[in-house]
Amino acid sequence: MSEPMPQANHEAPPRLPTDWKGQAMQKRISSRYASERRFRLIGLSAIVMSVGFLAFLLISMLSAGISGFTRTEIAVTFDFPKAPIMVDPAMLDSANADRLLSNANLPAVTMQAARTALGKKGEDLLSPSAWVNVREAIKNDPGILQRVETLSLPASTEIDIAAKGDGTEEAETAYARLDEAGLVSSHLNMDFLTSSDATDPSQVGIWGALKGSLLTMGVTLLLSFPVGVLAALYLEEYAPQNRWTDMIEVSINNLAAVPSIIFGLLGLAIFLNVMHMPRSAALVGGLTLALMTMPVIVIAGRNAIKAVPPSIRDAALGIGASPVQVVFHHVLPLALPGIMTGTIIGMARALGETAPLLMIGMRAFIASPPGGITDPATVLPVQIFLWSDEVSRGFVEKTSAAIIVLLVFLLSMNSIAIYLRNKFEKRW
Amino acid sequence: MSGIAIVTMVLGLGIIAWLSARAKATRLAQAGASPVPNTRTETGAHKAVSRPILHSLPVYHGWYAALWVLGPALLFLSIWANVMPGLVTDRVLQDPAAASLPTEGFARSAILGEARNLALGDSNVAFDTRAKALVEPYRQANNFYSSGGGIVALMLAFAGGAYAFTRIRPDFRARTRVERVVMMTLLVASLIAIITTVGIVASLLWESMRFFSMVNPVDFLFGTKWSPQSAAMGYGNEDAFGAVPLFWGTIFIGAIIAMIVAIPLGLMSAIYLTQYAKPAARAWLKPILEVLAGVPTVVYGYFAALTIAPNMRDFAAWVGISNASSESALAAGLVMGVMIIPFVSSMADDSINSVPQSMRDGSLAMGATPSETIKQVLIPAALPGVVGGVLLAVSRAIGETMIVVMAAGLAANMTLNPFASVTTVTTQIVQLLTGDQEFDSAKTLAAFALGLVLFIVTLLLNIVALQVVKRYREAYE
């Protein structure tokens, strides 16, 4: 600096050295340190609040849903020899047991036994589908038809809720009476994992929705993975710098940010109304979600391909590989773990997606698991949405239980992605 | 012949072509190589020796032949599958049994559809006797065209294979041809993104145009009364499709309440994680925060409706607000804010991290405490990035559907009271499209107009946000 010092400085009073030990300065420093601590505390509490909210959400879902995996059962004594079952036990070993038993009037037999065992209106304490359990018991051991047998049958929704401590007064007293008689027990509800949607909460299961989800995800993966990877390879390795490439890049980046419900509108307008594909089918759901997942895979794929060092390409080109051989023999295998990670994350997002599937009609009541990708189906998140709308109180725990299943799937997919990333990630 | 059988046969032919063409090329290579002594003929004959003789590796000849078998045949089959139903129907209509069909379109196609289902075995109950009479002609026509198509496809496969097979010669550039097809496939795959975008824009625009031919766009964009039900019940379209209350509800929940939650929590979390937390804690806390973004929105919606909303209503009653709704804007906005925290936090994280270390060091060296450095140096420097992140978060929040469908109400109110019920664009789209499905009513088409508005707004927000972030990154690079 060759400029002369400003004139004003000459007239300023001589500066005293700062008195760090002085009272004013100490006070100032301590207040600055206090503000530092406050700020740090605010940051920590922001984290704690966020994590605490997550914990609150998970714990409240877990506590509300864990009881959905158990069911209350009531012991009912059946006097089979006296019951009007016109079935020869010897015939029941054969394959037509179902047909024989469908004529055996089991619902009436069950009702009668319930009335005898549990008093008047005893059948109201049992689930409407209790006779199915009786049928299964007979099929497992036809011998019980010759003796008096006590079977444990699922209780009605009201009793089930009362057993879990949240029932109506009437149901609570009925449950207390049963409990005193030692008739009730709590069991793991395997039917919840193996049956499909029903109107009565004591009979619902998630298998139908889960199978719909798996079929939909299958279609999504089959379409979005190859297209996504090939598009990523083209854009990263071969695309010339021109207006077309720019347009492709812009549209992929925009598609990744388009709200999911817009994809649902697209599916509704194009796949259903123009192409007349079957409504509510896993095929249409999978197509719609594939369009949504593809940009995610392209973006993840491009990052993974970009991370492969150019020296690999140069080396392969140098010993005479063609550009296609360079990419498919060397770049793609090296980038694959990264692409897989991105794909799993994209698939996890698609698995939790609800809104676009509502648009294409996957919210129908589906009482049997779909047989193929063109059958009407529903998926797990939509099933959760449908159950959350139900008035019956029995659905609350079923909804939370279904949420637990969904979260288990999502968290395990994400953990696999993180594991893959950590195991195969290479720093060049 | 069923479609699957034909496709399987074509695929089988493809495999045969691949194997035989490769074998022929290998033989050519060995024949060419045999006069040359002292080479690795046993182990890697075609690889090591063929190079001077054969232009391409035998496997490329295999692929070349397989492509010639599969390409034309599968292309023909996919066209045929779309053309065939029309041809079958034409042939059935020429049948004498079809003369008795009603000429009116709907009844006619219903009977034809029934006959088709019977003929193909999709159902076995006929409601109309005229359909029963058409089953046999239908089956005949169907068999005629499907076996005809199958035969043509197989002939195409054979012809393609034969053509490719005759072209296998040592100097034939099979690899170049195959790689050209590979490049075409790559290009087509990347064009699907453009096709999707065009599909979205076209379908939204097309259905919106139909809507705007019934409802004045000005009334839609600036009207303040939203009651599509009354329009559906025949009270006319005027005054029923004013979307301003929806826009307000969307902004109120997504851009105001959710951001009041997400910006402070997300920003402070990012600051704590980048500036204060120990690396070990950071390694744990960051993924945990990301789990918040991975929870499906339907779970958040259920949580908001079941746990948060009743508590909010009780809280409002306790404070003394009388008309609190159990579907309050506050419950939906609060939960949406929590969902957005990881987005804000990771964007803020990125932009704080890309502030040059020298700026931070300079401030600390002047005697500023870390919090003073953050507040007076880092945040102002990172501000554009943070703003970009917030814009992206807003675009995400206003497009979010399930939380508001489950926790926000359906009443189109324009209110500033967070305990009252408001409705949003996405809620109404779901509401309009999940009832009856006649596609000519203004009620269902309104959903597409709302979708178009949503699409345009989120697109603009994203473009602006990316521009802001990009310009800011360039400032420090």
The H or E element that residue A152 is part of is strand A148-154
User: Are B189 and A227 in contact, with CB atoms under 8 Å apart?
Assistant: yes
Domain B228-476: CATH class, spelled out: mainly alpha
Q: How close A93 gets to chain B, by Cα (Å)?
A: 32
Instruction: Give residues 159 to 218 of B whose Cβ lies within 8 Å of A.
Output: 175, 179, 182-183, 185-187, 189-194, 196-197, 199-200, 203-204, 206-207
Instruction: Give residues 386 to 405 of B whose Cβ lies within 8 Å of A.
Output: 392, 395-396, 398-402, 405
- Residue ranges per domain, chain B? 3-172, 228-476
Residue A257 has its nearest CB partner, among B207, B406, B458, at: B458
Cα A150 from chain centre: 38
Q: How close A58 gets to chain B, by Cα (Å)?
A: 10
Q: How close A336 gets to chain B, by Cα (Å)?
A: 17
Amino acid at B124: N
Residue B52: pLDDT above 90?
A: no
Q: CB A258 to CB B401 under 8 A?
A: no
Residue B313: pLDDT above 90?
A: no
Q: CB A251 to CB B429 under 8 A?
A: no
Instruction: Give residues 214 to 253 of A whose Cβ lies within 8 Å of B.
Output: 226-228, 230-231, 233-235, 238-239, 247-248, 251-253
What is the bridge-based pairing of β-strands A184-188 and A148-154? unpaired
Q: What is the mean pLDDT of residues B25-33?
A: 75
pLDDT-derived band at B48 (thresholds 50, 70, 90) equals very low
Residue B1: pLDDT above 70?
A: no
Residue B39: pLDDT above 60?
A: no
Instruction: Give residues 238 to 297 of B whose Cβ lies within 8 Å of A.
Output: 264-269, 271-273, 275-277, 285, 287-289, 291-292, 294-297
Q: What is the mean pLDDT of residues A78-82?
A: 75
The residues with which B409 forms a beta bridge, in sequence order, are none
Q: What local confidence, expressed as pLDDT, does residue B45 receive?
A: 46
Least confident among B10-14, B121-125, B261-265: B121-125
Q: What is the mean pLDDT of residues A109-131?
A: 75
Say which DSSP state A167 is in.
Answer: -
Q: What local confidence, expressed as pLDDT, does residue B312 receive?
A: 86
Q: CB B199 to CB A61 under 8 A?
A: no
Q: How close A209 gets to chain B, by Cα (Å)?
A: 15
Q: What is the ipTM of this complex?
A: 0.85
Residue B235: pLDDT above 70?
A: no
Say which DSSP state B164 is in.
Answer: H
Determine the Cα–Cα distance for residues A255 and B459; give it in Å rounded to an integer: 9
Contacts of B289 in chain A (CB under 8 A): 47, 50-51
pLDDT-derived band at A253 (thresholds 50, 70, 90) equals confident
A43 close to B (CB below 8 A)? yes
Q: What local confidence, expressed as pLDDT, does residue B44 receive?
A: 46
pLDDT-derived band at B282 (thresholds 50, 70, 90) equals confident
Side-chain-facing half-sphere of B268: CA atoms under 13 Å: 19
Among A248-257, B249-258, B311-320, name the most confident range: B249-258
Mapped onto helix, strand or coil, the DSSP state of residue A187 is: strand
Torsion of CA B44, B45, B49, B51, to 10 degrees: -80
Domains and CATH numbers, chain A: 66-189 (no CATH), 207-424 (1.10.3720.10)
pLDDT digits (tens, 9 = 90+) for A14-70: 777 777 788 888 999 999 999 999 999 999 999 999 999 999 999 988 888 888 888
Cα A270 from chain centre: 27
The overall average pLDDT reported for chain B is 82
Q: What local confidence, expressed as pLDDT, does residue B40 receive?
A: 47
A412 close to B (CB below 8 A)? no
Q: What local confidence, expressed as pLDDT, does residue B50 receive?
A: 43
Helix H segments across B215-353?
Answer: 217-222, 228-232, 244-250, 258-271, 279-294, 297-303, 309-319, 329-353
Contacts of A46 in chain B (CB under 8 A): 264-269, 272
Q: What is the mean pLDDT of residues A231-255?
A: 88
Residue A426: pLDDT above 80?
A: no
Q: In terms of pLDDT, which residue wins out, A6 or A327?
A: A327
Mapped onto helix, strand or coil, the DSSP state of residue B300 is: helix
Q: CB A358 to CB B430 under 8 A?
A: yes
Q: What local confidence, expressed as pLDDT, does residue B99 receive?
A: 66
Interface probe for A, chosen from B50, B197, B375 (most Cβ of A below 10 Å), is B197
The residues with which A376 forms a beta bridge, in sequence order, are A281
DSSP states along A359-408: HTTTTS---S--SSTTSB---HHHHHHHHHT--STHHHHHHHHHHHHHHH
Tell the burial category of B53 from Cβ atoms under 10 Å away from its Cβ (0-12, 13-18, 19+). middle
Determine the Cα–Cα distance for residues B87 and B75; give it in Å rounded to an integer: 18
What is the bridge-based pairing of β-strands A148-154 and A70-79? antiparallel
Q: CB B338 to CB A36 under 8 A?
A: no
Residue B331: name the closest of B263, B246, B409 by CA.
Answer: B409
Q: Which residue of B has its CA nearest to A350?
A: B296
The overall average pLDDT reported for chain A is 83
Torsion of CA A330, A336, A338, A340, to 10 degrees: 170
Spell out the residues 6+ positions from residue B361 whose beta carbon is closer than 8 angstroms to its own: none
Residue A288: pLDDT above 70?
A: yes
Q: How close B401 gets to chain A, by Cα (Å)?
A: 6
Q: CB B401 to CB A255 under 8 A?
A: no
Least confident among A62-76, B119-133, B234-248: B119-133
> Full-prediction pTM beyond 0.90?
no
